[in-house]
Amino acid sequence: MTGPEEVRNTPFYGNVGPLLNEVLHAVDRLLETDEPTTIDLAGLPFGPGELEHLEATLGTGELSCKLDALGTSRIRETAYPGVWWLEHRNPHDEVVGRYIEITRTPEILSSQEADITAGRARLEDQLTT
Amino acid sequence: MKKRPTVGEVLQAKGVSRRGFLKYCATTASILALPPSMIPRIAAAIESARRPSVIWLSFQECTGCTESLTRSASPTVEGLIFDAISLDYHHTLQAASGDQAEAARHAAMEENHGSYLVLVDGSIPLGNPGYSTIAGISNLDMLKETVEGAAAVVAIGSCAAFGGIPGADPNPTGAVAVDELVTDKPVINVPGCPPIPMVMTAVLTQFLTFGQLPELDKHGRPLAFYGQTIHDRCYRRPFYEQGKFAETFDDEGAKAGWCLYKLGCKGPITYNACATAKWNSGTSFPIEGGHPCLGCSEPAFWDKGGFYNPLSTGKFDSGTKLAGAAAAGVAMGVVAAAAGRRRQDKFTREG
């Protein structure tokens, strides 16, 4: 994993450092008020290699999930607990969204009411046929 | 009017889970440049939104805008066509041709009178109706006939939005922009040569999601995508601040990725989203490839001096080269377009 010294001395364009500070502030908010934050990476400027540098800097934590819905999504906790990296792909395996979520659990991991209801109906059907 | 299924119904019929739907809404928020906190509202709106009928007209154009649209990854063009909109007429993409194609256009206009969207790429020649025709109909006549029952018109690409390359000096066909002719409907300009695919789909998605058109700038462009300059969001901006510039295309500064301002970059005065939305599924954009921004989403970009002249030479802002084309008819068109924009403002405000 990239160390703090390397982050400060990034060989890139200077767009990663401010974002990591934003993540730090969001972690503070989560700890102090339990308020989650989502950072949409699509609207931020990154030079060649900077996004990869950001991802490598945040690293990989204990939990990693794959979601198969309208294409694959990968959701993993970074090396910093409470900081999640989400990458959504479409059915053609093209990236359609990248987010950093600072939260205890990303909402998309929770089973949804409508899906639970539909699943229950399927289970009931199976039991009665 | 035929009752169209809602987007929620279409996705449900395709077996898309609620979780998948939330993912769809998250990417929708992203392309609309809305904060993630808007996702629940987007989800509620999309679930009940009915797929609008869309008629796409191609006039004096190179098909580059359609090529760009078909490279849209979020949503994909087929996803957009099958899930979100009903694309009822498009020369290049539709299977029907000749009389059948024209019948499809008329059927869509009748069935959805007052609620359909018209997308136009290409400028309209006023010099001679024969310069550009479809099924024997002049571009001007087809535009007038088709927009009559439209809810709004979207001018796709710099040719439709500003006259573009067909309208460049000496403008041999008398090409004009859509909003110089359509003055009684809201017109949204989505310029670029071509426009970013995501921006085109986002305008449609905004209409679909909220049933209203986006907030526009003085050139009729959606502020969500044209609200900041390329320079504002350029990853090379830190070099501009430090005074580090490439002086030639092969010097050490160019190799180090320094600012391209001195090589003619029009990023500081060009409003577009290339620097963050990027191209080819977010791969890169011209500046990332080492080439200055040409300013293609600005009016008359083709006639504003050399692409490689720095802005500091003042040529880009010179109006002298445009003077020859400033005929009385064009001036009247500008007045009409301004009046149209006032209506757009009202439409946008009232939502």
Confidence of residue B137 (pLDDT cuts 50, 70, 90): very high
Other CB atoms within a 10 A radius of the CB of residue B128 amount to: 11
Q: Which residues of B touch A43 (CB under 8 A)?
A: 30, 33, 276
Spatial CA neighbour of A15 closest among B287, B238, B253? B238
Among the listed ranges A27-41, B155-169, B184-198, B300-314, which one has the minimum average pLDDT value? B300-314
Strand partners, B150: B116
State the pLDDT confidence band at A100, using cuts at 50, 70 and 90. Answer: very high
Asked if residue B44 belongs to a domain, the reply is: no
Shared domain check, B288 and B312: yes
Residue A11 pLDDT > 90: no
Q: Who wins on pLDDT, B332 or B240? A: B240
Whether the predicted pLDDT of A114 surpasses 70: yes
Please tell me the pTM assigned to this model: 0.79
CA distances from B135 to B91, B283, B334 (A): 11, 39, 30
pLDDT at B148: 96
Whether B303 and B344 map to the same domain: the answer is no
Domain ranges of chain A: 4-128
Q: Among all residues of chain A, which has the CA nearest to that of B198?
A: A96
Domain extent for B264: 237-318
Confidence of residue B338 (pLDDT cuts 50, 70, 90): very low
Same domain as B215, residue B299: no
Which CATH architecture describes the domain A4-128? 2-Layer Sandwich (3.30)
- A97/B237 touch (CB, cutoff 8 Å), yes or no: no
B198 lies in the same domain as B345: yes
B179 and B289 belong to one structural domain: no
Q: A47, B236: Cβ pair inside 8 Å? A: yes
Contact B281 A45 (CB under 8 A): no
Would B38 be classed as within a structural domain? no
Closest CB to A96: pick one of B27, B37, B276: B27
CB contact under 8 A, B275 and A40: no
Give domain status of residue B18, yes or no: no
What is the rounded distance in angstroms from the CA atom of residue B64 to the CA atom of residue B194? 6
pLDDT, residue B339, reads 36
CB-based contact B29 A45, cutoff 8 Å: no
Identify the burial level of A112 via C-beta atoms within 10 angstroms of its C-beta, where 0-12 means exposed, 13-18 middle and 19 or more buried.
Answer: middle
Q: What domain count does chain B have?
A: 2
In a domain, B20, yes or no: no
C-beta atoms of B22 and A15 within 8 A: no
Structure confidence by residue, pLDDT tens digits, B181-201 = 999 999 999 999 999 888 887
- ipTM of the shown complex: 0.77
Both B221 and B243 in a single domain?
no
For residue B17, list chain A residues with Cβ-Cβ distance below 8 A: 69, 112, 114-115
Are B177 and B205 in the same domain?
A: yes
Is some CB atom of chain B closer than 8 A to the CB atom of A44?
Answer: yes
DSSP chain A: ---HHHHHT-SS-S-HHHHHHHHHHHHHHHHHH---EEEEGGGS---TTHHHHHHHHH---S-EEEEESSSEEEEEE-SSTTEEEEEEE-TTS-EEEEEEEESSS-GGGSPPHHHHHHHHHHHHHHHH-
pLDDT at A64 over 60: yes
What is the arithmetic mean of pLDDT over A106-120? Answer: 89
Same domain, yes or no, for B164 and B271? no
Flag whether residue A51 sits within 8 Å of chain B, measured between CB atoms: no
For an interface test with B, give the residue of A96, A109, A113 to mutate (most B CBs within 10 A): A96
Which residue among B26, B237, B275 sits closest to A88, beta carbon to beta carbon?
A: B26
